[in-house]
């Protein structure tokens, strides 16, 4: 029944995304999770033993949100389906990535503005290929984090599974950084997020390759993915780079500091543009169909 519920939830998300009329009036659950994480950060991230405090704070937040999810699950499958649909992000991801392609066809300034909404790097001086690479990288990484991982954990643990995953993933994005303030306190969120994304990241890569009929591109992919600064993001990013035949990652700037990251699929085209961004959007939908079919197989089995 959980797999069947996931199929319905994925279709609802793909059809409706995140309706502005609703979320302009009500706070999105992810926003509420973020507020509790921010409260914990301000309340407990002080003094000594910050790593231990971060572990305890994350544990308490997991218990709190897990209890809410269990309570909502008791309302029946409709509540679980709606909850899962809200926490999936396929349509919104594709829409945001497609906006970058649209922006680039109008001007480099609009392309930079659109991509700045979905990446953390400096965007003010990016040229067209760099904007396109940033959009494609974000498409691949967020497909794993925002679609496949939530779907996977819903299959494993129902509504509590997807809620706890979303909480941890939100925590990683907020406090899981190697900064003086968060390196210790956010350690637990960052490490648990790595663990929870381990299987989904690799599953995302497999789905991207298989739905393009290119399982042969797996050769060399694991070695390349392990060179990525993230233990998980390199897998879907490398798969996307290979099916589109574009080079991704490479040098980029954060907070004014240029960082020399290795290229992903360095043999690919290093001058992508709007066409390649649109192709990435198509790849996202192909891989989404692959995940739906996987859920169908689970239902049958």
Instruction: Tell me the average pLDDT across 118-144.
Output: 92
Instruction: Tell me the average pLDDT across 127-136.
Output: 95
Domain count for the chain, please give it: 1
Look at residue 227 and tell me whether its pLDDT is greater than 90. no
Look at residue 258 and tell me whether its pLDDT is greater than 80. no
Instruction: Tell me the average pLDDT across 161-182.
Output: 95
Look at residue 253 and tell me whether its pLDDT is greater than 80. no
Instruction: Tell me the average pLDDT across 121-134.
Output: 91
Look at residue 265 and tell me whether its pLDDT is greater than 90. yes
Measured distance CA(54)–CA(51) in Å, rounded = 5
Give the pLDDT of residue 155. 97
**pLDDT confidence band for 125 (50 / 70 / 90):** confident
The pLDDT tens digits of the residues spanning 84-104 come to 999 999 999 999 999 999 999
Give the pLDDT of residue 244. 98
pTM of the model: 0.95
The pLDDT tens digits of the residues spanning 176-201 come to 988 999 999 999 999 999 999 999 99
Share of the chain above pLDDT 70, in %: 100
**pLDDT confidence band for 261 (50 / 70 / 90):** confident
**pLDDT confidence band for 254 (50 / 70 / 90):** confident
Look at residue 204 and tell me whether its pLDDT is greater than 90. yes
Q: How far apart are the first and last CA of the chain?
A: 11
Structure tokens at 223: 């070695």
Share of the chain above pLDDT 90, in %: 87
Give the pLDDT of residue 172. 96
Look at residue 105 and tell me whether its pLDDT is greater than 90. yes
Strand partners, 253: 258
**pLDDT confidence band for 229 (50 / 70 / 90):** confident
Burial state string for 8-47 with b = 16 or more CB within 10 A and e = fewer than 16: bbbebbbeebbeeeeeeeeeebbeebbebbeebbeebbee
Domain that holds residue 247: 2-300
Instruction: Tell me the average pLDDT across 102-127.
Output: 92
Look at residue 250 and tell me whether its pLDDT is greater than 90. no
- The continuous run of DSSP H or E covering 252 comes out as strand 252-254
Angstrom distances, CA of residue 92 to CA of 96, 224, 273: 6, 29, 21
């Amino acid at each position: 029944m959980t797999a069947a519920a996931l199929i319905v939830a994925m279709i609802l998300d793909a059809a409706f995304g995140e309706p502005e009329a609703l979320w302009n009036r009500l706070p999105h659950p992810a926003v509420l999770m973020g507020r509790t994480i921010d409260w914990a950060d301000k309340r407990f991230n002080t003094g000594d033993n910050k790593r231990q405090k971060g572990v305890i704070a994350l544990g308490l937040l997991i218990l709190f949100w897990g209890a809410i999810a269990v309570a909502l699950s008791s309302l029946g499958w409709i509540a679980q389906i709606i909850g899962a649909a809200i926490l999936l992000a396929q349509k919104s991801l594709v829409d945001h990535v497609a906006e970058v392609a649209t922006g680039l066809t109008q001007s480099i300034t609009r392309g930079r503005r659109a991509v700045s909404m979905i990446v953390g790097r400096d965007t003010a001086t990016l040229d067209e290929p760099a904007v396109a690479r940033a959009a494609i990288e974000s498409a691949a990484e967020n497909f794993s984090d925002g679609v496949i991982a939530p779907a996977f954990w819903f299959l494993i643990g129902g509504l509590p599974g997807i809620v706890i995953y979303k909480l941890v993933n939100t925590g990683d994005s907020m406090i899981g950084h190697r900064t003086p303030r968060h390196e210790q306190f956010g350690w637990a969120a960052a490490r648990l997020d790595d663990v929870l994304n381990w299987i989904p990241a690799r599953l995302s890569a497999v789905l991207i390759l298989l739905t393009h009929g290119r399982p042969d591109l797996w050769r060399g992919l694991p070695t390349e993915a392990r060179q990525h600064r993230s233990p998980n993001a390199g897998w879907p990013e490398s798969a996307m780079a290979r099916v589109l035949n574009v080079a991704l990652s490479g040098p980029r700037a954060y907070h004014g500091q240029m960082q020399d990251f290795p290229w992903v699929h360095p043999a690919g085209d290093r001058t992508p543009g709007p066409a390649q961004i649109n192709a990435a959007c198509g790849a996202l939908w192909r891989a989404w169909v692959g995940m739906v079919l996987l859920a169908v197989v689970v239902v049958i089995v």
